[in-house]
Each structure stands twice: as structure tokens, then as C-alpha cells.
Structure 1
């Protein structure tokens, strides 16, 4: 898709947005402005994150590599990312100016951008003065909980509004085209709060029913039960809030949509508008939103956490919905091919540019997808209670802890079936068509033996595929067009 006029690139990223929460994805009408903007592009109906945690997933976006290769497997190790050239360096070499506004959670810093508005995190942002300061204090005191009442501060203090303000300022002060603008919004990630009119926009009685509640925990892996017990000990009766939790979550998506709409309107009013602009919308990972009686994330690799929204619009993109299984790691090679940049060594993702043009995709390349989980070491067990980086006393907790994230876990999915295995030798198999909540393990069912063996082989193939080609030496690995190894 490379042309004589390099396209501008706008990445709109939310944090912890579960797939299926917009009307364009078959859910509630939460993001009408964004849905309309992307209607002329490609929506990937089966997109996955590389790992269900912020920094590992964002590092995958920036490097086109899975966590076992880029080596960032927890939120506290971003500076150790391992790669030959990341997305920002590739774009800089291609003549782009680089602009960021929002939540970083990544290895590049302010010095790597021409303009940087942040950092914004889940308890506030850099511009802490006046009402903004009071709102940020209120956010910290909410302690990542579900607010039972409307947020007592206006939209202008909300992080999406402040982040979009910074993005608009960056575009107004930026260098000439082409530019790369990354708008990284910390919501709808916890704390689950939203002001009016968004608080009342989705009635608790009308929110979509959850797939399953805590009644299924006895059929789930021990990590689900350990996390549920931890939260119940700290916040007894927390699951009684699940409808309010979902209503706040959906309301925040509408608030985000209004702010993204404000940015898109501003970009459209500039000379040339969005005619030569790639707009990418995605999230880093999903959210339980009450399924299994859980909040946030932090246990296993269920579809609720692994699937993400992903849509791309831009010049020469054909309006369509695609069913291929794709990943957050595919964005860097897609942009590399789009702008005609060399593919950096060690990239494991695949370019999606032929799919964006409406071309057929080889089933062998896109029929399965892979994901990772775990900090490494040896898995703990259900009855373990080791020291954590937070106290077992009090209401504060972190779902990304050394127990539920311990060991290694890998998954492969073929669209209908999903296989999960871990370092203890446990294997689970789910039929996502009949069991979307993944509560019925079919791995020992004789009738699914062939499926189990086939997916185990696919998992082995994926693990061979993500074996790292770095560091580079005298012998160069063979590559294929679009980085499609199985085409």
C-alpha cells in the first residue's frame, strides 16, 4: 500500500476494553461516532492480544513480537524490551514526526516523541491543578473500585478529555506531514467510574447479561478461584455490584467515544482532513466485566481477556468484516508494508495489508491464533499464600500478582476450539461455539481426541514460530512475503 505520499497514522487505543461492547461488534450502542468513522474500513472480528496484561501487550504492539521474545512479561519490566527496531524507530526512519498523549505503559519515553502529553495513569495525569487535582485525588481514593454514584466531577476533568486536549494541541503544533499520533486512553479500565449523563445512560437493569457468574468457579482453573477468594476477603459482597459495574463500563465507553469524536472532528477540519490518514482502533486486552464473579483481569486466558476490538480505516482500505484470526503483534508489520519500510529483524507478526485490500487470505496462515500468559518460574497452587507486593489486609489488591500470574501458560485457538496448557502439564480444551465461557473441559473426552491432538500440534508449531530470531548473526533467516510463514 506504499504510495508517493506517506499517510498520516492515528492510533486510538483504549485500555482493558472487552471485544463485543459496541454496536458494530454486535453489542450495546456505546461508540456510535467511532463505529461510523470505521464503517468504511476493516473490522477484524477475531482479534487477539498477545498477553492479557498492559505492558506485555503494548510492547507486542510496538515490537511486533510475542512476550516470550520481547521479554516483557509483567508491567514492571518495560525497560527490558528486546527487539531490533520498534515501531517508533521505524516510523522515525521513514520521516514521520511522533506524537503521544495518554497512558504510556511502554518502553519508549517522552524523549522518543516530538510531543508527549502524559503520563496519564489510572489515578490521574500530569496536569494536576484546580478541579483536575481534586478529581485525581478522588480517583485514588476510589481505589480501583466500582463507583455506586455518578462521579462528582465534570467531563473536562476526566482523563479521556484531558488526553484529547493534549492530542489536539500536539497536532496544532506538530511538524509537517506525515505524522504518527498515538492517543492512549486509560479507560474503561478500573476504577469503574463515570459522571452524568453517562452514569445513567445504561440502566443497570438493561445491561447485557453476563455469560456466567461465580457458580462456575468449581469448574474453572485454580487461578480463578484464588483470585475470587482474594477479592471476596478484601471486599466482601463485591460481586453484588456486577450490574453497576457493567453500566459504568458501558457509560465510560460512550464518554470515550464523545472525546474521540472531538479529536476526529478536529482532524477532519484540517487541510486534507482524514483523506490520507490511517485510523487504527484497538485495545490492549479485555476485562471480565463480571463473568465468573470477577472484576478486572488476572486469571487465565479466557476469551473475555484475550480478545480485543481491532478496526482499521484508511486510503485503499476496502470496507469489510474479516473473520481471520489476527493479533496485536500484526500491526507493526502491517504498517511497515503500508509505508514501504523494511521489516525489522525479529518481527513475528504478519502484515495484514492484503486483507485490508479485500484479498483472500491463506487459511494455513490465519486459521489459528496463539497467546501467552505468565511471569515464569514454577506455578503456585490454589492453597498457596506467599508474600505479595501488597498486603493481604485491607481492601487494596492487584489482580496481576505473583500467584495468579505464576508459571507459564500458552493457548491456541482455531475459531471454534481452544486449547490451553501450562507448566504443570495441565491441558484444557473448550468448544467456544457451545461453551463461550470456557467452563466445560473436553480434553479427556474421547469424542474430541482428534481435535485435542490437532490443536496440540498447532500449539507446537506456534511455539516454534515464535522462537526468537534475534540476535542477528552471520546467517540470516529465510523470510516470505508479508511475513506469512505458513502461506
Structure 2
């Protein structure tokens, strides 16, 4: 344990010893473990219909608790989506639209501040990639995609150098280091250390592993646990790129220019990715085993999610990048443990990562801060009544604004390539140009942009989003309904901060019912002909 971490935790425990009544109240509040994977797409486990057994632990947690099957990220990029988790706000409100804008985050209060106010001891173990700093939490162990604290461990240092030498690419040989050197193992070890020294206060810990985000590497015994030949066929190969956006086509050409081995190794890419899912799943089990050993399971809420998904080599693309396709926006969200009752019906609700923050506020016994846009899921998790209309759709967006870059701009691929190696960054001025917004409702998905271009898909019939039905007369009713739903979400997520003076003359009316809007509607489900 690092000395500063030990001193911090010891001081906190001593300060709480003379506040017995407060400590007794805090003891009734559940511990919370927020486990975040990076670039992990929904639907890759047996419980969600995938043929490979990548996540037996998470599948069991879903069967015992609730796994929301229609959960979406607010924006398919690391920093904006992670800030949405912490603040409960969509990107257009917290004002962070790419991975280089952490200092621009705008909000009233985040979940760490709420936890602190409620008497929780807090920790970050793993990847950060937000505005958070050491002095924002009680215990801090930060990692990146290429390593973390070494604590004089030569093997850890050597493995971290190996990660750097991969240049974020897919590896065609097993990683020459044991599982204990892998970042998920080390991060879970740090979380266990924090939990063991948290004292009598309830704890809130973010356990954030940088995997299965590239580089696509995995050690034995997870190497070839799912051999390349066992990987199911993908939705489409590069031959279908001609039917997609210029930005996706440009991204593929950039990828092939920097790392031409990626497409030929697409099955190996996915084999390594699935193996890493199983490695992470085993580390989750290891963490839960420790919670059981400490007798903390009944009073601990565990939730698992991801910041965004992976393109999964569809259309020849790895990582993420352009557009709002299902593989990069549709993410897992699983709750298990304290207070959670299983419900198949609840699992079909449309949810967002922005819903995590207000949910945890209510779990902690706190009011939801002003400016939060997500909706609390706590009543749903406890089996209480809820308005189905509140969770009938969900919204996501992407883009830096301005115009799209096109073929005529002749943007060279090297703007996003690393001259020192074969690395490339799929998030750049071309792939993120413009502005797109998406709404999901029922079996349908609508994408609309600042140029008035639209995409409409029936995901039940077309899960790979290959057949754009926008403006087809046979689907005019669905299109109109989704356009209205999208407009509702765009207005609902307009920022209400700053409020300006709040006094007798001007005072914002906030929802006091779990941050839900549906209970306040006077005319039934939207859209409706009604003048408020």
C-alpha cells in the first residue's frame, strides 16, 4: 500500500470514530462497486444470445439481478461517455465532445462529491480519462492503456513496456507474461487493498479496466480459449464499405495505411477480444469472492458497464470511430447485489450510462443534483412500480460540429498516424466531423444530422444496419414518430445550467420523482396534441 493512501485512510477512520451516530447511519448504506470495462460491446455473452461463453460470472449476476438489454452510451468516445457516468449529463450539457477536453466538463456536482457528502470513502482504481484528480478521492491508483503503478515490480514494468511496443495493434502471438501482470488483475488487487482498509465507512470504488480496448492482446490460458475458427461471422466485410459514409471509408483506408495486418487478422482480433472478456470476467469473480470472504456481499451493490463499444471488425474496422452504429453505442449495464430484484420486463427498458449517476445518488440516500439529466433506475431495480413511458426510448450523439470532411478535402491519413510506429487514432477531425444524433425506440433506430440527412433501420430485421429505410413511404409513420421522439430528447437534454438567480420571481421547477418526466405528463404518451 502506498504510504499516502494508508495515511489518508487512517486519518479518515480516526475522524469518524468520534461521530458514532453518524457512523451507525452510514453503516446502513450499501457499499458500491462501479466496474467499468473499456470498449466493450453489448451482446457478447451467453445470457444475451452469443454462442461463446465469454462471461459466465456476469451472466450469473444478470440472472440474479438485472441486466438492461437496451443500454446505450451518451457518446461513443471514452472521455465524454465517462464524464456522463460521473455527472449524469449528456455531452451537449457537460460540453466535452472529444478526448482532449477533460478540463471543459461542466456540472453542478458529480457522483464522487455526492458520495463524499453522504459519508462514503471513495476510490479510483484503474483507468480515469476524465477530469478527476488525486485530491478528488480518498484512494487513487491510476492506469492507462499502456500501464500503471509498478511499485518496484520488474515484471509489471516489463509488461507495461510490452504494451507500449504493441502500438495498440492486434497481436498474432500469445502475450509472453502471466495473468498476474495484466492490468485487470493488478487493478482488482488495488481495489481489494482499498476495500480491506476502508474502515467502518461505506465505500464507493470505481474499478475501471482499460480492456478489452486495443491493443488486442491476451495471455495463456485465454489465448485461443475462443479460437479464430470458432468466431461467428461478422455482419459485413470491407466490400460493404461502399454503402457507408465517407468517414467510415476514410477510417478504413487510414487503418490499412498504418496497420495493414488488421483486416487479414480480423478473426484473431476477435479471438483475442473474446479471450480478454473472459479474463476480465474471472477478475470480477475474484473481486466478488473477496467481498464474500469479508462478509460484505449482502450490503454491496455491484454494477458493470462500459464507456462505449467496439466496431468488432465489421466493415473491416477495429476499435471505434465514425458514426453511431450499434456495435459502438450499445453497451452492457448490469446491477446485482444489495436491493436488486430480478425482472425480465425491467431488462427491456431503454437506459443510458447517464442514468448511473442519479441511480447511485438514490442508493446513497442523496438528492439528485440540479442539472442532472439521467433518470434514476433505483425503483426499477427494487421491483417498484415505474412509468413505462419514461424508459420507452433513449438518445445518443456524436460529432465535433461544423461540416463533414469529404473526399474533396483530400485529408491525408498521417494526421492520425504515429510516425514512431504502426499506431493510428481512429478519433480525429475526419471521423468526428459534423454532428449526428440518434434515437432508439422499439425495434427502430433513427439517425439524423445537421445537414438533414437521415438513416432509419428496423434492427429486428436488419441488426447490421445495412438497409436504410429513411424517407421510404412504407415506413413514414415510424419515421415521423422517431423524429418527434428525437426532438423531445434534444430539448430534454438542453442544459439547464447555469440557472441564473433562483428567487421568488425566477425558479426552475425540477423533477422530484427520480428525475423522471413521465409522471408530469398530462396527455398520455408523446407525441400528443396538448398545450401546457
TM bin (shorter chain):
over 0.9
Q: What does residue 109 of structure 1 align with?
A: 133
- Does residue 425 of structure 2 align to residue 398 of structure 1? yes
Question: Aligned to 1:169, which of 182, 193, 202?
Answer: 193
Count of residue correspondences: 484
* Conservation of the 8 A alpha-carbon contact between 2:27 and 2:202: no
* Conservation of the 8 A alpha-carbon contact between 1:479 and 1:485: no
Shift of 1:263: 1.2
d(CA) in 2 for partners of 1:343, 1:149: 48
Question: Aligned to 2:335, which of 298, 305, 312?
Answer: 312
Q: Deviations over 1:390-421 (max 9, x none)?
A: 44866321001111001211101113111111
* Conservation of the 8 A alpha-carbon contact between 1:219 and 1:440: no
Q: What does residue 482 of structure 1 align with?
A: 514
Shift of 1:38: 4.0
- Does residue 115 of structure 2 align to residue 84 of structure 1? no
Q: What does residue 24 of structure 1 align with?
A: 47
Runs (4+) of structure 1 moved beyond 6 Å? none
- Does residue 293 of structure 2 align to residue 266 of structure 1? no
The 3 A distance-change label for structure 1 pair 4 and 116 is: closer
Q: Structure 2-normalised TM-score?
A: 0.88
Tell me the C-alpha RMSD between the 2 structures.
1.7
d(CA) in 1 for partners of 2:358, 2:431: 32
Within-5 A mapping of 1:303-382:
303-321=326-344, 322-382=347-407
- Does residue 471 of structure 2 align to residue 452 of structure 1? no
* Conservation of the 8 A alpha-carbon contact between 2:26 and 2:119: no
- Does residue 174 of structure 2 align to residue 143 of structure 1? no
d(CA) in 2 for partners of 1:330, 1:404: 27
Q: Deviations over 1:322-370 (max 9, x none)?
A: 1010000001111112222011010000011121122454232111110
Q: Which runs of 5+ in 2 are unaligned?
A: 1-24, 520-532
Q: What does residue 529 of structure 2 align with?
A: none
SS, match of residue 184 in structure 2: helix
d(CA) in 2 for partners of 1:242, 1:185: 23
d(CA) in 1 for partners of 2:447, 2:409: 22
* Conservation of the 8 A alpha-carbon contact between 2:123 and 2:140: yes
d(CA) in 2 for partners of 1:385, 1:157: 43
- Does residue 306 of structure 2 align to residue 283 of structure 1? yes
Larger radius of gyration: 2
Q: Deviations over 1:277-333 (max 9, x none)?
A: 110111111001111110000010011000101110122211123101000000111
Q: What does residue 44 of structure 1 align with?
A: 68
* Conservation of the 8 A alpha-carbon contact between 1:12 and 1:182: yes
d(CA) in 1 for partners of 2:161, 2:127: 18
d(CA) in 2 for partners of 1:72, 1:209: 36
Shift of 1:79: 1.7
* Conservation of the 8 A alpha-carbon contact between 2:61 and 2:334: no
- Does residue 86 of structure 2 align to residue 56 of structure 1? no
Within-5 A mapping of 1:127-142:
127=150, 129-142=153-166
Shift of 1:3: 9.4
Shift of 1:139: 1.0
* Conservation of the 8 A alpha-carbon contact between 2:169 and 2:262: no
SS, match of residue 408 in structure 1: strand
The 3 A distance-change label for structure 1 pair 399 and 416 is: same
d(CA) in 1 for partners of 2:135, 2:407: 44
The 3 A distance-change label for structure 1 pair 3 and 482 is: farther
